[in-house]
Homo-oligomer: A and B are copies of this chain.
Amino acid sequence: MERITSVQNPKVKRAVRLMSSARARREEGAFVLEGLRLCLDVPRSGLTAETVFVTDELLARHGDELEPLLACAEEAFLVPEHVAERLSDTRNPQGVFCVCPSLDKQTGRNKMKQMDAAGKYLLLENVQDPANLGAISRTAEALGLTGLFVSGGCDVTGPKALRASMGALLRLPVLMTDNVTETIQQAEKSGIKTFASTPDQTALPIASADFRGGVLVVVGNEANGVTEETLACCQTRITIPMSGRAESLNAGAAASILMWEMVRPYETS
């Protein structure tokens, strides 16, 4: 394996740029994964890698595990600790990094044309905190949601979001959308019921909503909630009943409860 020893190497500089800038990721159509767990998800998820960087130490300890990753990469380089530190988004880098072509290029998932009429979808509108986005996608995957729409807010291929998602953002169907109204209309045309969540306690309590069949639920920005335009566009406004003292649930907690209610089995008695 070739060795790169300078942080000035153009491949290293590109990876650093992709790691730190959502704009660079968008313009160059690539993103970076860091850490053994996320990098090993690349071959497991049937994705490919452009460039892998790995430290001597990590390769010595985890060579066998890294085999499938190195096999699916176009190129791989050994790097010393100081290059790993430069590449890393964390304080204690594990020592493996993987530059991947953007997920739309690889999976064409941004070109999803048809929604599943019986699917369960969550739409995140302007969610700002990558840790929230990551945690919500992890819960969405665990609960078996059909897919996640993301409009505005933070980048789904940013390092913090990917880390918090434990790789769920690589595996779950995730669709970026610039036009929430259009997505909602498309869902309704596919026979999917659309709901906007709001802290407004006069909305329909979620336990009274009928989530059978195809459902799309919108969760809004942490501070401002779902936009007026989107509230107006959805068929039903729903709310999680609250007992008063707290002003609202945080976006992650609200999304968890909403997703659970979407997939919760109906009593048959």
Q: How far is the CA of A267 from the CA of B268 in the complex (A)?
A: 11
B207 with A143: CB separation less than 8 A = no
A246 x B141 contact (CB < 8 A): yes
Q: In the complex, which of the residues A171, A248, A250 has the most CB atoms of chain B within 10 Å of its own CB atom?
A: A250
A265: which B residues are within 8 A, CB to CB?
205, 207, 241
A248 touches which of B142, B240, B244, B257 (Cβ 8 Å) = B142
Chain A interface residues toward B at CB < 8 A: 135, 138-139, 141-144, 166, 168, 171, 205, 207, 240-250, 252-253, 256-257, 260-261, 264-265, 267
A-B contact pairs, 28 of them (CB 8 A): A135-B250, A139-B249, A141-B245, A142-B240, A142-B242, A142-B243, A142-B245, A142-B246, A142-B248, A142-B249, A142-B253, A143-B243, A144-B244, A166-B247, A168-B245, A168-B246, A205-B265, A207-B264, A207-B267, A240-B260, A249-B256, A252-B252, A252-B253, A256-B257, A257-B257, A257-B260, A260-B261, A267-B267
CB pair A246–B207 under 8 Å, yes or no, is no
